[in-house]
Structure 1
Amino acid sequence: MSEMRERTGEVLSNCKRVVIKVGSAVLTTENGLDLRVVNRLADQISALHDQGLDVVLVTSGAVAAGRRATIHCKECDPDDNLAARQAVSAIGQSRLMHEYDEAFHRYGKTTAQVLLTRGDFGDRSRFLNARNTLRTLLDWRAIPVINENDTVAVAELKFGDNDVLAAMVISLTEADLFVNLTSADGVYTANPDEDRTARPIRAIEDIMTLDIETMCRGKTGAGSGGMYSKLVSARRAAQLGVPTLIVSGHTPYALERAFANEDMGTWVLPSEQPIAKRKFWLAYHKKPEGEVWIDQGAAEAVAERGKSLLAAGVVRVEGDFPEGALVRILNFQGQTVGVGLSNYASSDLQRVMGLKTEHMGKVLGPGIHPEAIHRDNMLVDPAL
């Protein structure tokens, strides 16, 4: 057995809790929700559950199910506006959950619907309440079925796609494995639809060094994120110390074969130095509200020497954000260095940028923060 097979075998044997994400490209056809896929998925997940594994399912498919349900409605135009799309999701979500309930009930399993928005992660008390609820469901041996609450989510509170949601759920549930079921058989060196020389990658040992932007340019038709968002989510999981398996959901018995450690899909190995859960939460709980551009010396201090960001190193401030907002930190070339919570509102930071700490009080008065962004409230090299 190869060294990689030994490593993945160890991951699988030690796995106690897994987050499984299944996307629209796997779950749906042009006619809507594919019930054969739903039932095969329930069959495999139930088998893993019978082995004592905690399983959390993050699912797409509500919008596709809703479109199918409204296809004969002349007044229903799901693409008309945001309210129409959210209405279609509301119609489809109940049908999606009904099919999961029916499928898992055949194996004596109890499912629990959990609908989340980014706001449930951004507010710390709501985040902890969601965590406690999910812990209780798992203690009761229920199978949480999680989807984004499209019906109420506004643009600022949307995850963008369920790959992003799944990465947040890994942190929320403290899972130790992430399986992403997709329409592709794994990760390739380039987009195989565009490049005939593209070759499959069986393992990514250090995803932090991978140029995801160059590799991934395409998106699947039914889904919203394509391989790009799957690799971003895998990178976030790696930062938590959680491995990811990206594998085709169309492959027969994909989950059973994956947990038997067959050579399939792409493994993304975890970081050797995981970040603190608090830093993960602050970096990804909501979208950055602005940008702080810094000079080369500050970029080196932050990225290479583990320093806080001082106002003296700031050369430009973009956006209108309050004190305590999450902001993106960019170097002089426009590359993301990190994200962090700003100690200053954008208007105040613009007034003191470039100034040494001892001169800042003359501009803003007493009680200033020595750091523009403290190291404890910053994540370097985030997966955005």
Structure 2
Amino acid sequence: MAELPRQPLPAWRRAVLKVGSNLLAADGGGLTPDYAQALAAFIADSQAQGREVVLVSSGAVAAGRALLRARAVPMGDLAERQALAALGQAPMVALWQSLSARPVAQVLLTHDDLRNRRRYLNARATLRQLLAIEVLPVINENDTVAVDELKLGDNDNLAAIVAALVDADLLLIASDIDALHSADPRRDPDARPIPRVDEITPAVLAMAGGSGSAVGTGGMRTKLQAAQKAAAAGIATALFNGRDAATVQALGQGELRGTLFIAGQSRMQARKYWLLHAPCDASSIRVDAGAARALAAGRASLLPGGVVEALGDFHRGDLVEVVDPSGRVVARGLSQYGAVDVRRLAGRHSRDIDDLLGYSYGPAIVHRDDLALVSA
């Protein structure tokens, strides 16, 4: 079989690392740190370099099943799987905490958390704060309350969604296989590894096989779907063998031995394109001349002090236009506060938000990461 060349990882400051059940649990067995140790060391090294890592970890159902193995609990219906997920969440998080010098925080997400704009922003704010206080977020789908028709389905796709949610620069998928191959290498001795994929075409998708593990829910197809989602958000994806300690160690040195899925555009370009072109109701926030100049200079958030008034009826998380004193649109962005709250905060200092509203979603009306400037 052809050897995979080492290639440089794209530059990154924040990454989402997805670790599957097949790296944390043997088929039918409980959780083991055998492969997680090297991955945890990579996370720690990255953190020491000033980088941020969000972990999407499978393994809860496998851990729950192992705890009840002697009782032969069936896995037939949704309620039984949900019970196993609830039982296995604690040991799964405990495994990562035992391997991390930093505190670990569990975050369980559902389809509705990522579909509802208000809850989406809440989840995003929580993850940002966890990273800011140097905590390792460990994310999983909230299988305990999810229903089949609204399940995200697998943690590969969840990881891609989380990468976009936290504005990651890179999605890392740790698997039990070295790379994407031209065919399933377990069945085809002529299968060759693919070190780089510039675009996920139907021909590339046809290379995918099924799941290779009895404890996992995903396979190569879900990993390709995840890479496709990430690329659409301007995020590159690196697929590698998480069972190979040397491969994991090389990641910390900026080298990949696996498959790199290229993003067609930068993360910022993809996000700004969406902010500039997504449908927007007839709602806007009028700002004073000073705020308009600060926004035009770039990398500034819209603070309450620069707000003059809120026009229309919008809610937290809605896309709004920001207009200068003459009514010219200078930017578009996601409002952290609804129109009623923005009117109460207009012209006030950020430190007054909690006193005025009784709560706070942060000091900015529109955070700079959620803002795109409109060309004159």
Shorter-chain TM-score range: 0.5 to 0.7
- 1:36 is displaced (CA, Å) by 2.4
1:351-382 deviation digits (Å, cap 9, x = unpaired): xxxxxxxxxxxxxxxxxxxxxxxxxxxxxxxx
Structure 2, gaps ≥5 residues long:
279-376
Figure out how many residues of one structure are paired with residues of the other and give that number.
269
Alignment-derived partner of residue 223 in structure 1: 216
Question: Is this contact kept in 2: 1:240–1:277, CA < 8 A?
Answer: no
Alignment-derived partner of residue 169 in structure 2: 176
Alignment-derived partner of residue 251 in structure 1: 244
Alignment-derived partner of residue 235 in structure 1: 228
DSSP 3-state at the match of 1:257: helix
Residues 15/188 of structure 1: CA separation in 2 closer, same or farther (3 Å cut): same
Find the partner of 1:124 among 104, 114, 117.
117
CA distance in 2: counterparts of 1:237 and 1:89, whole angstroms:
26
CA distance in 2: counterparts of 1:68 and 1:225, whole angstroms:
19
DSSP 3-state at the match of 2:212: coil
Find the partner of 1:86 among 82, 87, 97.
82
1:186-214 deviation digits (Å, cap 9, x = unpaired): 1111111222211001111222x352442
Residues 277/83 of structure 1: CA separation in 2 closer, same or farther (3 Å cut): farther
Question: Is this contact kept in 1: 2:78–2:148, CA < 8 A?
Answer: no
CA distance in 2: counterparts of 1:220 and 1:188, whole angstroms:
14
Alignment-derived partner of residue 309 in structure 1: none
Find the partner of 2:195 among 202, 207, 219.
202
CA distance in 1: counterparts of 2:6 and 2:35, whole angstroms:
28
DSSP 3-state at the match of 2:35: helix
Find the partner of 2:20 among 11, 20, 23.
23
Residues 174/116 of structure 1: CA separation in 2 closer, same or farther (3 Å cut): same
CA distance in 2: counterparts of 1:261 and 1:134, whole angstroms:
25
Alignment-derived partner of residue 107 in structure 2: 114
> When the two structures are superposed, what TM-score results if normalisation uses the length of structure 1?
0.66
CA distance in 1: counterparts of 2:92 and 2:251, whole angstroms:
25
CA distance in 1: counterparts of 2:273 and 2:226, whole angstroms:
17
- 1:218 is displaced (CA, Å) by 2.1
DSSP 3-state at the match of 1:72: helix
Question: Is this contact kept in 2: 1:19–1:178, CA < 8 A?
Answer: yes
Structure 1, gaps ≥5 residues long:
284-384
1:272-326 deviation digits (Å, cap 9, x = unpaired): 376447869xx9xxxxxxxxxxxxxxxxxxxxxxxxxxxxxxxxxxxxxxxxxxx
The question of 1:214 aligning with 2:214 is answered: no
Alignment-derived partner of residue 344 in structure 2: none
Residues 213/5 of structure 1: CA separation in 2 closer, same or farther (3 Å cut): closer
Identity score, percent: 41
Match runs of 1:362-381 below 5 Å: none
1:88-122 deviation digits (Å, cap 9, x = unpaired): 11111111111211221xx3x11110001111001
DSSP 3-state at the match of 1:187: coil
> When the two structures are superposed, what TM-score results if normalisation uses the length of structure 2?
0.67
Residues 50/43 of structure 1: CA separation in 2 closer, same or farther (3 Å cut): same
* Equivalent position amino acid for 1:151 in 2: T
* Equivalent position amino acid for 1:38 in 2: A
